[in-house]
């Protein structure tokens, strides 16, 4: 509150001084804008949807689909062809060199640690694959 003294003849006149309140409001606004939590962004994944119940289960696999399978014994397969961890990156680069759509899927056996699947996903992203989908046993069975 401020007071006016001087030529006013009715005594003291109370005035609300809002300038400090506006300054405090602006400082608080800036503080809250700076400390707002940023939403973390993870990896984009694609999960294939199970086929409809009335659709045949024994359909030919599309040749364009690339599935990297992480085996329980530490091995790898790319579309049922044996591979190893060292040659996975260059082999995927060769496969996707001439393709416009850079989408692949990764499938892990039941006893595989997730860290190995995550390593495969990391190698796939470093090979230039834009989107990596996850295949689970339930999706393969159509559930």
Q: What is the pLDDT of residues 65-76, one digit of tens each?
A: 888 999 888 889
d(CA 82, CA 80): 6
pTM of the complete model beyond 0.75: no
Residues forming a β-bridge with 68 = 78, 106
Dihedral over alpha carbons 89, 90, 91, 96 (to 10 degrees): 90
pLDDT over 90 (residue 60):
no
Domain borders along the chain are 2-34, 45-141
Give the other-Cβ count within 10 Å of 93's Cβ: 13
Domain at 45-141: CATH architecture: 2-Layer Sandwich (3.30)
Task: Give me the mean pLDDT over the 51-78 stretch.
Answer: 74
């Amino acid at each position: 509150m401020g007071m006016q003294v001087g030529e006013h003849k009715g005594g003291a006149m109370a005035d609300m001084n809002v300038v400090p309140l506006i300054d405090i409001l602006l400082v608080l606004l800036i503080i809250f804008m700076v400390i707002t939590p940023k939403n973390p962004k993870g990896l984009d994944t694609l999960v294939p949807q199970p086929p409809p119940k009335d659709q045949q289960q024994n359909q030919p696999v599309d040749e364009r689909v690339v599935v990297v399978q992480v085996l329980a014994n530490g091995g790898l397969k790319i579309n049922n062809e044996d591979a190893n961890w060292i040659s996975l990156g260059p082999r995927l680069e060769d496969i996707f060199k001439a393709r416009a759509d850079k989408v692949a899927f990764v499938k892990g056996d039941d006893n595989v640690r997730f860290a190995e699947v995550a390593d495969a996903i990391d190698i796939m992203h470093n090979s230039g694959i834009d989107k990596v989908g996850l295949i689970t046993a339930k999706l393969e069975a159509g559930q």
